[in-house]
Amino acid sequence: MVRGGGAVQVVRPADLAQAHEAMASSTAAGQLVSIRAGGTKQDWGPPLAPAPDLVVDTTGLDALVAHNAGDLTAVVGAGMALSRLQERLAGAGQWLALDPPSQPRGATVGGLLATGEAGPRRHRYGSLRDLVIGVTMVLPDGTVARSGGQVIKNVAGYDLAKLLCGSQGTLALVTEVSLRLHPLDAHSATVRIPATPTEATPLVVGLLAAPVVASALDWAGGALWVRIEGSAGGVRSQVEEVRSLAAEGSAPSAVLEGEEEARAWEELARIEAGEEGDTLAVATSLPSQLAEVAEASDRAAGEVGVAADLVSRAGLGLHTARLRAEDLGAHAGFISAWRRAVQRLGGTVVVRRHPPGLEEVADLLGPPPSAVEVMGRVKDQMDPGHRLGRGRFSPWWL
């Protein structure tokens, strides 16, 4: 990474003081700064532009500062890899209820917070936004600030952790995160129900209305996947209930457990994570609009001649389309066609991962929301020089 002939400087702070030092000195030098952790999502969204002068690598901030098992809380360095955190927590029968597709590739807690990425179990537990109870951050000018705390219930002061969730590393460097944990369930089973999106939609609606508590409710690869977790008896009876609901319509369902179940979810996560060169676009809708969103994706893909694989968080109305053809024009065509259709349904389409250059031919973020001006003012307040993650929300602001 080279800009204007000068090499990019990389710092890897080992503690808050060094993080403060790095940010404060970047102010004096007027450097453009970007934050990097696991590096699994640097190709998400609009690219950094121009390239940063300073990259802050957070992987040195990787301590498990505290695990208060009895309080169901933990405090971790932002650079800690999620998979390593999960290993540490598992000893106490707990976990951070988050299973993002990028976890096996080394995603960190801070990176997940900044990008808002979550996985299938978001259906039951929400995303990191719903699990974070406090943050320590360093602003681009070096100011160190905290919000929230270390207790699950707390309404003192503004909840700035929420603001940082999904901020794509453009407001502050997160150094430490306090988290709410959940117990690991003893038993798990997944019901696989073969169904087209059109067949799956009434099932999704039916499952939402049923007293079943699913951990995940995804549509992908020609099937609806319903994961149930809990005690042995609870899983058994709910699996039966799901199967009997499914029996009313479609092809026979299968129940996956153990290794087979784990492999099936890993496979779905691989599709959702994509590979280098792929474009991943995420559409939002109401859960009942699954069939329409999927149909719109097929149509858009057909029009421009690409293959689009869809992974839908069906119960939540979040749909990831993965495009593989390395034809930027086709990707751009798909995005605008799909977005037009999804907007008519009341949703949005945003591009996550994409090959370099797509930003030149496609609108990655779509139309700005009505609150774009306040968002811009929040950015101005936190980072007046717009030095942090410049480009990530282009063209909404610098």
Partner 1 sequence: MGALEEVKAELARVLPPDAVVTDPAELATYSCDGLAGYRTTPGLVVLPTSTEGVASAVRACSARGVPFVARGSGTGLSGGALPHAEGVLIVLSRMRRILEVDPVNQRMVVEPGVTNLAMSKAVAAHHLYYAPDPSSQVVCSVGGNVAENSGGAHCLKYGFTTHHVLGLEVVLPDGSVVELGGRTLDPPGYDLRGVFVGSEGTLGIATRVTVRLLRLPEAVATLVADFPDPSTAGEAVSGIIASGIVPAAVEMLDNLAIQACEAATGAGYSLDAGAALVVELDGPREECLGRFGEVEAICRGAGATRVRVAGSEDERALIWKGRKAAFAAMGRLSPGYFVQDGVIPRTALGPVLARIAHLASEAGLRVANVFHAGDGNLHPLVLYDPDRPGEPERAEELATRIVELCVDAGGSITGEHGVGVDKACSMPKMFSEDDLAVMARVRAAFDPAGICNPGKVFPTPRLCGEVIGPYRPHPLELAGVAERW
Q: Which positions from 123 through 162 interact with partner 1, judged by CB under 8 A?
A: 126, 129-130, 136-137, 139, 143-147, 149-160, 162
240 token code pair: 């039966």
Q: Which of 8, 9, 11, 16 binds partner 1 (CB under 8 A)?
A: 16
Q: Which of 60, 375, 394, 398 binds partner 1 (CB under 8 A)?
A: 375
382 token code pair: 């936190």
Residues with Cβ < 8 Å from 87, sequence gap 6 or more? Answer: none
Do 73 and 180 contact (CB within 8 A), yes or no?
yes
Three-class DSSP category at 87: helix
Taking CB under 8 A as the binding criterion, the range among 100-108, 248-256, 326-334, 369-377 that sits at the site for partner 1 is: 369-377
Q: Is 363 in the site for partner 1 (CB under 8 A)?
A: no
Q: Which of 34, 40, 103, 238 binds partner 1 (CB under 8 A)?
A: 238
Q: Which of 196, 237, 250, 336 binds partner 1 (CB under 8 A)?
A: 237
Q: Which of 11, 51, 63, 163 binds partner 1 (CB under 8 A)?
A: 163
Taking CB under 8 A as the binding criterion, the range among 28-36, 66-74, 76-84, 249-257 that sits at the site for partner 1 is: 66-74
Q: Is 23 in the site for partner 1 (CB under 8 A)?
A: no
Q: Which of 27, 42, 68, 83 binds partner 1 (CB under 8 A)?
A: 68
Q: Per-residue contact track with partner 1, 200 to 219, x per CB under 8 A?
A: -----x--xxxxxx------
Of 305-334, binders to partner 1 (CB under 8 A) are 316-318
Q: What does the alpha-carbon distance between residue 7 and residue 143 come to, in Å, rounded to a whole number?
A: 26
Q: Is 382 in the site for partner 1 (CB under 8 A)?
A: yes
Q: Is 183 in the site for partner 1 (CB under 8 A)?
A: yes
**Nearer Cβ to partner 1 (273/282):** 282
Q: Is 165 in the site for partner 1 (CB under 8 A)?
A: yes
Strands 6-7 and 2-3: antiparallel
Q: What does the alpha-carbon distance between residue 35 and residue 148 come to, in Å, rounded to a whole number?
A: 22
CA-CA-CA-CA torsion sign (383, 13, 86, 111): positive
367 token code pair: 């139309």
**Nearer Cβ to partner 1 (20/325):** 20
DSSP conformation letters of 279-291 = EEEEEE--GGGHH
Q: Residue 305 Cβ, how far from partner 1 at the closest point, in Å?
A: 27
Q: Residue 143 Cβ, how far from partner 1 at the closest point, in Å?
A: 5
39 token code pair: 């590096």
Residues with Cβ < 8 Å from 274, sequence gap 6 or more? Answer: 280, 322, 353
Q: What does the alpha-carbon distance between residue 330 and residue 40 come to, in Å, rounded to a whole number?
A: 24
Q: What does the alpha-carbon distance between residue 333 and residue 153 come to, in Å, rounded to a whole number?
A: 46
